[in-house]
Structure 1
Amino acid sequence: MFASRFTLFIAIMAIISSLANASDPDPLQDFCVAVNDSKAAVFVNGKICKDPKTVTGDEFFFSGLNRPGNITSPVGSKLTEVFVDEMPGLNTLDISLVRIDYAPNGGLNPPHVHPRASEILVVMEGTLYSGFVASNSKDPNIRNKLFAKTLYPGDVYVFPKGLVHFQMNVGESNAVAFASFSSQNPGIITLANSLFGSWPPIDPQVLARGFQLDNNIVSDLQSRLWVQN
């Protein structure tokens, strides 16, 4: 009797374990609202696969990462992305790449988040002050802790998935870095753009109280033109 009950227990635990290990794949778009309509068009999480018979080598190719980006933006940096939209062959491979050019003396890749990917960055030229901030942990020793370091050519830094991070050129010459991501479409949420440049605008009271700012400061920030780098 004990043996049969033990066998049943093991079988149940195996089923529970298999269910616990099963999960939905990470979403590859910002949202996907369900619709109860059998005639609705299909929207796949990511990209629909092309017929293999029509695939060519060009779809696994991208050219241009050797060319400097235009760093005349207000933040003084430029991202050249190689995501799935730029290289269709990346579809389902969970990888992507970006080149980042920084202007001298403060060229900035502003604080931002990649909701769908971790990132690893390697500095090719220049000197970057780079870091990320831990989440709102219950542990006061780690809550919102900044992990930052000054990076030089050949140095590598990693940014965990979903955490706020940044890079700034602290040198007097241009800087260049390359970064790879654990997603074909990591997503980019630049904090200032999202909060002060949203449309329609967020109620200023929300931002004033959330950031402990004067309403006039919030109104000024919301009136600015927030551009992507």
Structure 2
Amino acid sequence: MMFSARSLVLSLVFSAYALAEGAADPGVAQLVAQLRDAPTAVNRLALLQDGDFVFNFLNATTGVTTGAAGHTVAASSSNFPALIDNGMAMTVGFLGPCALNSPHIHTRATEFNYIVSGNVSAGFLAENGARFVFNDILTGQAIIFPKGVIHFEMNNGCDDALFVAVFNDEDPGVNQVAQRFFGLPPDVVSATLGDIGVQNVANLESKIPDNVIFGTQECLQRCGLNGTDNQPTLQRQPRVAANALPSGYSAPSAAPAPTGSSSNSNSLSSDLSGASTNTNSSSGSGKLNTLEIALIAVVGALVAGYIVIGIVLFMRRQKGGPANSGKYSRPGERFAPQGAVFEGEKSSPMPFESFRPSSEGQGDYPSTPYDPPAGSA
């Protein structure tokens, strides 16, 4: 069990880095550039292989955004070059019970979201002065989210739900509202929230869970779920001097701008950047960031594994001990020159209590024939 936990932690760490490298694949970026520069559709077609026109949402290695309650898989121009000049993209959402695709914005596209299975609650806010729009969408129904609106989708049931979202732009963009808002300068956020203080801003920012998150308490209680305390918080806004957190709080370091709008590109860049602690803030802080906690867990699993191995070896040794516990022997050349044994032992080893050493005379003490040879210590 210990080794399984250790393997899980290691696989998650290495998988995250593998996904990051895939998102920044220079070969894909070069192909995208060539497709954009191609003078005609025929020239673009010549740059692609047959398999380049197929995207596997069920076994994707890029475009994946994962939270505690589910995940989404996005196909956009950043990870699916065949979309170039076709003006569309797609995201498939795999929502667990009570999962919430947290409020976000698509900055360059309208979304047409079709519910494949489940009962999904969805709503959006368009702009200042606009009313809130809310709907419960059943299997086989779809909803439109106009370009740029703040919107969300939540699985309101206790079974898994699945949606397919189509966009009218090959690079729709995605902007998680909570993470980005709290990524503004802390004093600006504090003032916006009624001057709650930068320390409170930093505390709140560190608790924003990664998308896809667990939804409302009503749904969680109805479905008998309690997972809100164990959600990862890695999809945080990278920090620079202008939006740095107050001293004593760790933060993600600045990351390069993503090459595409895939939600995985945005979130994973934040994930990996969040593994590094800001040098200035960490020097005065005793707080552990997520990567440090993961490394401690790995080391703990290794130590526990060695302890288990030691216990098993000790028990095996104890199990074999009683069979010979009634015999007494003195091994080694000092007591058995040339590897020979004494005559009394050759015939049949006897219990220790049946002998007494000759050097002790004829007392009532047990004796043994294993007197050391002359001259021995």
Q: Same fold (TM over 0.5)?
A: yes
Contact 1:114–1:163, Cα closer than 8 Å, also in 2: yes
Q: Deviations over 1:58-78 (max 9, x none)?
A: 2221123489x999724x231
The aligned counterpart of 1:125 is: 117
Q: Report the CA distance shift for 1:48/1:149 in structure 2 as closer, same or farther (over 3 A).
A: same
Task: Give the number of the structure whose residues are more often helix, by fraction.
Answer: 2
Structure 1: runs of 5 or more not aligned: 1-42, 137-142
Q: Report the CA distance shift for 1:195/1:226 in structure 2 as closer, same or farther (over 3 A).
A: farther
Superposition TM-score, scaled by structure 2 size: 0.42
Q: Report the CA distance shift for 1:174/1:126 in structure 2 as closer, same or farther (over 3 A).
A: same
Tell me the CA shift for residue 192 of structure 1: 1.1
Structure 2: runs of 5 or more not aligned: 1-31, 208-232, 236-266, 269-377
Q: Does 1:62 align with 2:44?
A: no
Task: Identify which of 81, 86, 92 aligns with 1:93.
Answer: 86
Task: Identify which of 186, 205, 209 aligns with 1:204.
Answer: 186
Give me the whole-angstrom Cα distance separating, in 2, the residues matched to 1:155 and 1:66: 26
Correspondences of 1:1-229 after superposition (within 5 Å): 47-49=36-38, 52-65=45-58, 73-74=67-68, 76-105=69-98, 107-136=99-128, 143-196=129-182, 198=183, 202-212=184-194, 214-215=196-197, 216-224=199-207, 225-227=233-235, 228=267
Secondary structure class of the residue paired with 1:99: strand
Q: Report the CA distance shift for 1:51/1:152 in structure 2 as closer, same or farther (over 3 A).
A: closer
**Runs of 4+ with deviation above 4 angstroms:** 69-72
Q: Deviations over 1:111-153 (max 9, x none)?
A: 11001000000101111110111211xxxxxx14110101110
| Larger RCO (alpha carbons 8 Å, 6+ apart) | 1
Give me the whole-angstrom Cα distance separating, in 2, the residues matched to 1:189 and 1:169: 20
Secondary structure class of the residue paired with 1:221: helix
Give me the whole-angstrom Cα distance separating, in 2, the residues matched to 1:47 and 1:104: 41
Q: Which amino acid aligns with 2:67?
A: S
Identity rate, percent: 25
Task: Give the number of the structure whose residues are more often strand, by fraction.
Answer: 1
Name the stretch that deviates more: 125-134 or 175-184: 125-134
Tell me the CA shift for residue 203 of structure 1: 2.5
Instruction: Give the length in aligned residue pairs.
Output: 173
- Which is higher, the Rg of structure 1 or of structure 2? 2
Secondary structure class of the residue paired with 1:131: strand
The aligned counterpart of 1:8 is: none
Tell me the CA shift for residue 90 of structure 1: 0.7
Give me the whole-angstrom Cα distance separating, in 2, the residues matched to 1:218 and 1:135: 25
Secondary structure class of the residue paired with 1:205: helix
